[in-house]
């Protein structure tokens, strides 16, 4: 993996943006930017007004020794992280605010990013926890009826680094061939290539507890449902019929909105919340959320899951699914480059239906290591990996991917209804 010599500078096939020859066209485009920035935006648009005259001012140094010159936007400085590529065509704001990307640079394979700016509705959490954003082309204008500010301003305020005008296809091919790579992004000229390379090679993401940095600090109640115009499935008149405790390992808000829309009254609790306290609340069900990093690095969370299993119906999503797998005695492993995107085909083995799903994970459960009685319910059709589990005797269901989408297709939304059915089954028995 680290065989390539340092000093390789990636070519920029569309380097024409540096050329003087487009100066006139660019001036016209910059005036469009100024007009389209909403009145609510304070101050000048960071990074946008300088382009396309801007020359490369950032380097992405990968642990394999390759160096990629790029132009910066958002925050400046030096940041280390794991580079992953995301194939979603839309939804960059939901991706930026998905806490499961903590410690990672998200490289979007879709080349044109930023054209709709950012809005007030599409946040999946209050913060951006990712290490940075890597894109091919940063939209020079922003146009959307919901737009509250341009992407560059938004990232700068949240101290998140972004780069553009970098060959994202070439980096993606490298990640697909060699597997995930650690990288360092820097706008600091004083740092040598060797220093950045050393930093990338001395940094680790495997075995690190990233959940504790993103989980809430104390419990809170959640009431917001999916906005009526966008809801299509749930019976919104259901009221708050089911009491659910949701463990926040880095929870995406759309999981909470979907549960609320399906009739759940939800208490969100921190990752370290004791199982005994959860059970005292007498929940109808417990949700184990998505979250960043290595599921093997959080044994305390596996212990909590173990202490809840079999007592009440549970639903695990992504990290929650991986923790359930470990709590059942199974093993998780790191995938070559993971699944990140909104176009992953999954077969539901119970119905035979194929769902196009939203995914974001680097780890997976090895189903061969699970005890008898655990049923493989979903399979990722790209690589045959485990995408869902059930253990009816212990009232468990889990998905490796994202039924809440956000961003992505809604094919798997029925999973929330299945969780309601699981809880209802127990309620009726009681
Ligand atoms: N979205 C998630 O919950 C990610 C799960 C885990 N951190 C992984 O990368 O596999």
Distance 367 CA to ligand 1 centre (A): 17
| pLDDT confidence of residue 140 | 86
30-51 burial string, b = 16+ CB within 10 Å, else e?
beebeebbeeebeeebbbbebb
- Whether pLDDT at 34 is above 80: no
To the query of whether residue 216 is one of the catalytic residues in this protein, the response is no
Question: Sorting pLDDT into bands at 50, 70 and 90, what band is 178?
Answer: very high
pLDDT tens-digit map of 304-347: 999 999 999 999 999 999 999 999 999 999 999 999 999 999 99
Backbone angles phi, psi at 228, to 5 degrees: -50, -45
CA–CA dist 201, 62 (Å, integer) = 9
Interface confidence, given as ipTM, is 0.97
Q: Is the distance from the beta carbon of residue 390 to the nearest atom of ligand 1 less than 6 Å?
A: no
Q: Separation of 99 CA from ligand 1 center, angstroms?
A: 9
Whether residue 290 has its Cβ less than 6 Å from ligand 1: yes
Domains of the chain as residue ranges with CATH: 8-202 (3.50.30.20), 211-429 (3.40.50.880)
Which atom of ligand 1 is closest in space to residue 294's alpha carbon? 7
pTM of the model as a whole: 0.89
Q: Are 285 and 321 in contact (CB under 8 A)?
A: no
402 is catalytic: yes
Ligand 1 and 325: CB distance under 6 A: no
**pLDDT of res. 248:** 98
pLDDT of residue 4: 33
CA distance 401 to 142: 31
Confidence label for 24 from pLDDT (cuts 50, 70 and 90): very low
Residue tagged active-site, from 321, 340, 361, 402: 402
Determine whether the shortest distance from the Cβ of 385 to ligand 1 is under 6 A: no
The yes-or-no answer on residue 404 being catalytic is yes
Edge-first strand order for the sheet with 242-248 is 220-222, 264-270, 242-248, 285-288, 314-317, 396-399, 386-391, 375-380, 331-348, 354-366
Measured in residues, the chain has a length of: 430
């Amino acid at each position: 993996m680290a065989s390539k010599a340092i000093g390789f500078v990636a070519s920029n096939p569309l380097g024409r943006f540096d050329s003087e020859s487009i100066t006139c066209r660019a001036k016209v485009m910059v005036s469009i930017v100024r007009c389209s920035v909403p009145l609510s935006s304070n101050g000048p648009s960071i990074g946008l007004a300088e382009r396309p005259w801007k020359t490369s001012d950032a380097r992405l140094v990968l642990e394999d020794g390759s160096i990629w010159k790029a132009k910066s936007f958002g925050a400046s400085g030096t940041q280390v992280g794991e580079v992953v590529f995301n194939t979603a065509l839309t939804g960059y704001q939901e991706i930026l605010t998905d806490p499961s990307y903590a410690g990672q640079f998200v490289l979007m394979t879709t080349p044109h990013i930023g054209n709709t700016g950012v809005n007030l509705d599409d946040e999946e959490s209050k913060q951006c926890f990712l290490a940075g954003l890597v894109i091919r082309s940063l939209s020079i204008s922003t146009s959307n009826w919901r737009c509250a500010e341009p992407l560059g301003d938004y990232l700068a305020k949240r101290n998140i680094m972004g780069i553009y005008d970098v060959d994202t296809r070439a980096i993606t091919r490298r990640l697909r061939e060699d597997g995930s790579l650690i990288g360092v992004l820097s706008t600091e000229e004083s740092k040598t290539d060797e220093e950045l390379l050393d930093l990338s090679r001395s940094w680790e993401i495997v075995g690190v507890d990233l959940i504790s940095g993103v989980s809430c600090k104390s419990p809170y109640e959640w009431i917001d449902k999916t906005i009526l115009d966008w809801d299509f499935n749930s019976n919104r008149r259901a009221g708050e019929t089911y009491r659910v405790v949701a463990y926040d390992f880095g929870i995406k808000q759309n999981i909470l909105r979907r549960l609320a829309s399906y009739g759940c009254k939800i208490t969100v609790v921190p990752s370290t919340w004791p199982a005994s306290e959860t059970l005292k609340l007498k929940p109808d069900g417990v949700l184990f959320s998505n979250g960043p990093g290595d599921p093997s690095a959080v044994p305390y969370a596996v212990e909590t899951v173990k202490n809840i299993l079999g007592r009440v119906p549970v639903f695990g999503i992504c990290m929650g699914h991986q923790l359930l797998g470990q709590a059942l005695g199974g093993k998780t492993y790191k995938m070559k480059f993971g699944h990140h995107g909104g176009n992953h085909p999954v077969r539901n083995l119970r119905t035979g239906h194929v769902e196009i799903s939203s995914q974001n994970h680097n780890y997976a459960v090895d189903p061969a290591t699970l005890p008898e009685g655990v049923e493989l319910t979903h399979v990722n059709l790209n690589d045959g990996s485990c995408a869902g589990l059930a253990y009816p005797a212990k009232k468990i269901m889990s998905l490796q991917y994202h039924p809440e989408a956000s961003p992505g297709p809604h094919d798997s939304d029925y999973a929330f209804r299945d969780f309601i059915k699981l809880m209802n089954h127990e309620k009726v028995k009681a």
